[in-house]
Amino acid sequence: MKTRVWIAPQSPGAVSDGLAFAPCGAAALGLASERMTKIIRSSVSLLCLLLLAACAQPGGGASSPSAVTTDAAGRVVRPRAERNQDDSIGRTVLSQLRQNDAAAFRGVSVLAWNHAVLLTGAVTKPEQRRRAEQLAKAADGVEVVFNDLNLAEDPTAAAFVPETGREQRIYAGLLGQDDIAGAYVVRVVNGVVTLMGTARSAEDAAKAAAFARDAEGVKWVVDHVAVK
């Protein structure tokens, strides 16, 4: 007499309808048991390999290096080491621009924040504007480029030079506002304020932009603040 005994396929890629005819009795049960043991062992081995691969992923089980740092009051702060890195990236980008074409990029200014780079000022030709962005993106440590370069006959005109005095006043004012959380850097060119930085919420970023917009002589504000 014969009976139907269900035998699971030994591998996920095997083609089978899951049914086979086998002699009834201890021999059939032993064969099924042996195959089931092999399947379980294979499954356990596969699971271990998957777990090891997950642990080997970059950043697996560790905190992200771009995680937001806050002080005791919950305000976003930018550690000194990270600010130094920003300055280094900015200098590198500017150096590469000048090395590539000092005359074409003499009116370009660079500001960096958390692997993002802001290009302001002016160039004389559209292809120079595109080239400046390409060079900035190719620099070590740069992940994002905000290209706010203008086209002008005289890129060295005062209208394209950063207004450092106004930048410092707006920056100091942001630091002095208890209701404005976040960490920011400020660029002002010809009355246009560009904010870069990190805020904990869109509301915080909007407060910072509103504060900068109310500063004397400001035409409008460009917001490049990341919310994290």
Q: Is the overall model pTM greater than 0.75, yes or no?
A: no
Q: Which of 193, 200, 150, 157 is nearest to 173 (CA)?
A: 193
Q: Which of 121, 151, 154 is nearest to 136 (CA)?
A: 121
pLDDT reported for residue 16: 40
What span, in angstroms and rounded, lies between the C-alpha atoms of 208 and 185? 11
What span, in angstroms and rounded, lies between the C-alpha atoms of 67 and 45? 35
Given pLDDT bands bounded at 50, 70 and 90, which one contains residue 38?
Answer: low
| Token pair in block for residue 131 | 């080239």
pLDDT reported for residue 59: 37
Given pLDDT bands bounded at 50, 70 and 90, which one contains residue 77?
Answer: confident
Angle in degrees, CA 72, 73, 79, rounded to 5: 60
Residue 150 has pLDDT above 80, yes or no: yes
pLDDT reported for residue 177: 87
- Bridge-partner residues for 145, per DSSP? 117
> What average pLDDT does the chain have?
80
Q: Are 193 and 33 in contact (CB under 8 A)?
A: no
DSSP-derived secondary structure letter, 149: -
Given pLDDT bands bounded at 50, 70 and 90, which one contains residue 67?
Answer: low
pLDDT reported for residue 21: 39
- Phi, psi at residue 118, to the nearest 5°? -110, 125
Mean local confidence (pLDDT), 39-65: 47
- Looking at residue 194, its amino acid is T
**Could you tell me which residues come within 8 angstroms of residue 88 by beta carbon, excluding any fewer than 6 positions away?**
141
| Token pair in block for residue 101 | 């074409």
Mean local confidence (pLDDT), 78-99: 94
Ranking 46-50, 88-92, 201-205 by mean pLDDT, the lowest is 46-50
Burial of 169 (0-12, 13-18, 19+ CB in 10 A): middle
| Token pair in block for residue 90 | 């900015």
pLDDT reported for residue 214: 96
Mean local confidence (pLDDT), 94-103: 97
Residue 134 has pLDDT above 50, yes or no: yes
pLDDT reported for residue 78: 78
